[in-house]
Structure 1
Amino acid sequence: MPYILKEENIEEFLRKSEMDEFEEEDFGEFYPDNYKMVDKSGMFEDFRFKLVVLESLLGKNASFVDEFKEFTKKLEEKYDDYVFEIGNFINPVIVEPILKFLENVELTEEDLEKVDEICIGGGLEIYGILCPNWDGEDELFEIKSVKGFEKLKNLKKVIFISCCDEELLDEFRESGIEVE
């Protein structure tokens, strides 16, 4: 099960990592029982689906992209890249400042119009940014609802690999969207 890595614990976390003195409480809250990922913009019912939409916009000059890149760059500089390359722990670690940023992203109409294709699968870049050592072995990014996809007026194609039940894809098909 993944943990939430809280920003206020990072310095102590790094000190303990050098001495291999970790205890469970060093990782903050345990996900999913004690922490819910929420789309605070209210655009999508499931934050995990919002992540798929955000992923599709990373290379399309969307309104949030420059701020997101600058934000993650500052975090990497502040925490010396170590936090973003956590790979030696049994449980994945969600970087809370990035989670909070993504939860609060509000997409513009122009952003929504740029989405013509999405990919639902475990290998998305945005998952690696949010949870650097996630291995896809659990349901951390499993989509439970695609409600809100109707806002994506130019969505023509959904590439399905994993991370949701196939029945959810019927909502796209019923709207005339190609599912591959």
Structure 2
Amino acid sequence: MTAFKDFNFKLLVVEKLMYWDETLLPAFSMAEHLRARGIEDLHDYVEENGLEFTVLAEGRAFFEELEIPAHLLATVEELTLDGGHQVYMECAPVWDGEDDIFDVHSLDDLDLLPNLKLVTGGRALEHMVPGSLDVLAARGIAARH
């Protein structure tokens, strides 16, 4: 079992594999998940329960429990930090990108990505994890700002 230490780092990997590469399937849809529970309007559900600026428990549970096989992790050559990721919208459907709920806090999970060559969003990562550009450089991973 592959265990990620940083949930938000894992979400970057999920974004790449599930929503960009479409190799980690089926893709999770919060709207479909809630419809299966009889909740028809995702945005009403979020607003009525005061969940506007939080990761919904359903999304957190799904992605925390999601197993990512090592052979798929080995295909990740690039990660991109971007507030518009689909995985973020599935976790926090009305998130406005104005807070730090999806900030990466640790680079300990880099060991899970043996073929990572590039991180796009290096300045943002350096803001989240001071010294991260040095860590990437020491591993031979390029950072694009």
TM bin, normalised by shorter chain, reads: 0.7 to 0.9
1:102 maps to 63
1:170 maps to 134
- Note the 1:30-109 alignment, pairs <5 A: 43-58=3-18, 59-63=20-24, 65-66=25-26, 68-69=28-29, 73-77=32-36, 78-83=38-43, 86=46, 91-109=52-70
CA RMSD of aligned residues (A): 2.7
1:55 corresponds to which letter in structure 2?
E
- 1:122 deviates by 2.1
Unmatched segments (≥5 aa) in structure 1: 1-40
Compared CA separation, residues 122 and 50, structure 1 to 2 (3 A): same
Compared CA separation, residues 80 and 54, structure 1 to 2 (3 A): same
Would the aligned equivalents of 1:76 and 1:84 in 2 still touch at CA under 8 Å?
Answer: no
User: Which whole-Å CA distance do the structure 1 matches of 2:100 and 2:129 have between them?
Assistant: 11
What's the % identity of the aligned pairs? 28
Unmatched segments (≥5 aa) in structure 2: none
TM-score in terms of structure 2 length: 0.78
TM-score in terms of structure 1 length: 0.65
1:162 corresponds to which letter in structure 2?
A
Output one character per residue of 1:100-159: Cα deviation in whole Å (capped at 9) or x when no partner: 010111110121022111012322211111001111222111111011212211211100
User: Which whole-Å CA distance do the structure 2 matches of 1:68 and 1:82 have between them?
Assistant: 14
Highest CA radius of gyration, 1 or 2?
1
Spell out structure 1 runs of 4+ moving beyond 3 A: 83-91
User: Which whole-Å CA distance do the structure 2 matches of 1:75 and 1:128 have between them?
Assistant: 14
Compared CA separation, residues 152 and 135, structure 1 to 2 (3 A): same
Compared CA separation, residues 84 and 146, structure 1 to 2 (3 A): farther
Output one character per residue of 1:31-86: Cα deviation in whole Å (capped at 9) or x when no partner: xxxxxxxxxx66322111111111111132334x21635x7524245311334785
Would the aligned equivalents of 1:155 and 1:177 in 2 still touch at CA under 8 Å?
Answer: yes
Which deviates the most, 154-163 or 111-120?
154-163
Would the aligned equivalents of 1:116 and 1:154 in 2 still touch at CA under 8 Å?
Answer: yes
* Secondary structure of the structure 2 residue equivalent to 1:114: coil
2:143 maps to 179
* Secondary structure of the structure 2 residue equivalent to 1:66: coil
User: Which whole-Å CA distance do the structure 1 matches of 2:52 and 2:28 have between them?
Assistant: 25
2:97 maps to 136
User: Which whole-Å CA distance do the structure 2 matches of 1:135 and 1:51 have between them?
Assistant: 17
